[in-house]
Structure 1
Amino acid sequence: MGADARLEVQGVGDVGEMDEPAFSGLAERHRRELHVHCYRMLGSFEDAEDAVQETFLRAWRRRETFEGRSTFRAWLYRIATNACLDLLAKVRPEPATGGEVLWLQPYPDRLLDEPTAGDADEPETVAVAWETIELAYVVAVQHLAPRPRAVLVLRDVLGWPAKDVAEALGDSVNSVNSALQRARAGMREHLPAERQDWSGGADAGTRDLVRRFTDASVATDIDAIAAMLRDDVRTSMPPTPGLLVGRDAVVADWTESGFPDLRGLRAVPTSVNRQAAIAFYLWQEKEGAYLPLTIDVLRIADGKIAEIITFHADQFPRLGLPERLPADGTE
């Protein structure tokens, strides 16, 4: 048994007596999974970073309150959840409406692939790899009021018992159960109807569709792209307001915005939130290189593109994408 595992067994005395470097080392083992937890709650990568920093600060200041009745990891989750609720009360007291989440940011798969401190069969570790990190789920969560949102994530994603959630939030079990019912009803309202049937996995059909979409986009072939879209396709570009629904509306917007005249594109395949994504670069004569333009994240259902969420070039560094492509296309 490692020192940190013994610490969780021994309980409050060890944590309360630790110096700051030792305490920070123990807490840092949980940084990635706590960051993913806060990201689900907040929908923003940057806000999640702030929430995790606040979590570590609060944990250090309150280390004597760790009583050993739960694991150190669960104690950190409790603090992180309340840090998220406090942040929401300050910056976003009202949930998202109308299907848009203007503060939405992508989460790079390369960070999701980092090992966590939990065991492989713990709910959080399994959930990171699947649907609760996909953008459709994160967007739906943002439409819930903050407290039901916290209950949903703790109960349905982390698998906490109702009594543990009630204790973490300073609430009653009855109140938690009621909030969970409201949250689940809200999720059914905002999740795609076909959600149980689609997957972000890279099966052969998905890979072929992504390849064809990429080729048609580089060629600015709107007709070819339109043929790949579902009738009820949705597009958005956070933080820019505007949610378009329906193939005709989407194609009309692309045509009016001058997409067919956008020449000199290159594309780099990537993945975020366990979904296929394409980073586009535009040729800039003065720079003699292709520079970041946008990132399209695709949701695919029934062999068609059901949703495209486009993010701006400021997300490229976080996603580990090249800052430029030279004229010959090499990175």
Structure 2
Amino acid sequence: MDQDRFPADTELYRRELLAHCYRMVGSAHDAEDLVQETYLRAWRSYAGFEGRASIRSWLYKIATNVCLTASRPRPIRMLPSGLTGAYDGPDRPPIPVAVGEVSWLEPLPDAWITPQADDPAAVVVGRESLRLALIASLQHLSSRQRAILLLRDVLAFSAVETAQMLDTTTTAVKSGLQRARARLEDLDLEPAELLEPTDERALALLKGYIAAFEHSDASLLEQVLRTDATLEATPFRDWQAGRVMCIHILDAYVLGEPGDWRMIATTANGQPAAVVYRRDASEVLRADGVVVLTVTAAGVSRVIKFHDPALVGTFGFPDVLNG
């Protein structure tokens, strides 16, 4: 193949490969590095590409195997709800996990993977396959089962194509897919009736959640959260189940005074989200992390806060806000 054609032949797949690598490893930053490695390997071997498979499937084979190699020495990425049951002990602030004890799941900015073509169907498929509940559940599969499930059920490659990508047999692919599907059925995925982040009801719920923090008004959360809502935040082991408990924890230990928080709406993993700033002792609003909401017509069913200031920059926002 003509090496000069490599950018034109491969670049249009970069965003979907980024989404694939993220599904495999659960980290936006790691996925970005893995895509870079994928393109480096593809460029080096492009001259020998003979077209026996499509460019797309060839790139997916490289990307999947790059992810499988990277996954071997790394711990799986988790959310607090994947570590233990909801906290129901004595009233106290949530306890953080020791640094390095857990590798935490990261959110993915929608802007990184939004299809360039104006294809609403593609957008919906992408969002459904990137929601945090699914990404968290995928991490409980072996890396090979995860690859098989994604290639077959998300990307719709045939069993034969998947076997070729993974250098295995179709029998092994079919068996691995059965086990992966059965494992996911045992895990607690989110309800099917989720609202799209562009839905007016979803936008109103996100606005209400932001207002509760910026005004330090716990009563506003009663209008936003479902009765069965859950609340979790990295790097804390404790997480809460039920609106009453969620509001109590936020009111007692988080909300603070009016003006302590500022949030800017965005989207992550096909869900409503916000980048979060907190006012420090010098009255400066500094990056604090990202919060992602799971929203239904009945209200917010799940709140996940990622306490990592670096994520604010990942979503394209400044480290410090004026005002």
- TM-score, normalised with respect to structure 1: 0.81
2:275 aligned with 1:293: no
Aligned counterpart, 2:105? 104
Structure 1 moving runs of 4+ over 6 Å: none
Give how far 1:259 is off. 2.8
Give how far 1:210 is off. 1.7
Which of 258, 274, 297 aligns to 2:270? It is 274
Which of 238, 242, 247 aligns to 2:243? It is 247
Q: Equivalent residues in 2 for 1:121-140 (5 A)?
A: 125=122, 129-140=126-137
SS of the residue aligned with 1:91? coil
- Give a deviation string over 1:119-169, Cα, whole Å, max 9, x none: 959x9x456543101212211211211111101110111100011101111
- Could you tell me which amino acid in structure 1 is paired with residue 181 of structure 2? R
Gaps of 5+ in 1: 1-13
Distance 1:238 1:263 in 2: 23
Aligned counterpart, 2:318? 322
Distance 1:193 1:114, change over 3 A: closer
- Give a deviation string over 1:191-234, Cα, whole Å, max 9, x none: 4352x221333222222222222111211222331443223322
- Give a deviation string over 1:263-301, Cα, whole Å, max 9, x none: 432221111122111223233463x64222232110012
Aligned counterpart, 2:279? 283
Aligned counterpart, 2:149? 152
Distance 2:133 2:69 in 1: 24
Q: Equivalent residues in 2 for 1:23-172 (5 A)?
A: 23-24=6-7, 26-63=9-46, 65-92=48-75, 96=78, 99=82, 102-115=103-116, 125=122, 129-172=126-169
- Could you tell me which amino acid in structure 1 is paired with residue 266 of structure 2? T
Instruction: Give the conservation status (yes or no) of the 8 Å contact 1:102–1:240.
Output: no
Q: Percent identity?
A: 33
Q: Relative contact order (alpha carbons < 8 A, sep ≥ 6): 1 or 2 greater?
A: 2
Aligned counterpart, 2:87? none
Aligned counterpart, 1:309? 304
Give how far 1:39 is off. 0.5
- TM-score, normalised with respect to structure 2: 0.83
Instruction: Give the conservation status (yes or no) of the 8 Å contact 2:132–2:269.
Output: yes
Aligned counterpart, 1:213? 209
- Could you tell me which amino acid in structure 2 is paired with residue 103 of structure 1? W
Aligned counterpart, 2:233? 237
CA RMSD of aligned residues (A): 2.8
- Give a deviation string over 1:303-331, Cα, whole Å, max 9, x none: 2111111122211111112333222xxxx
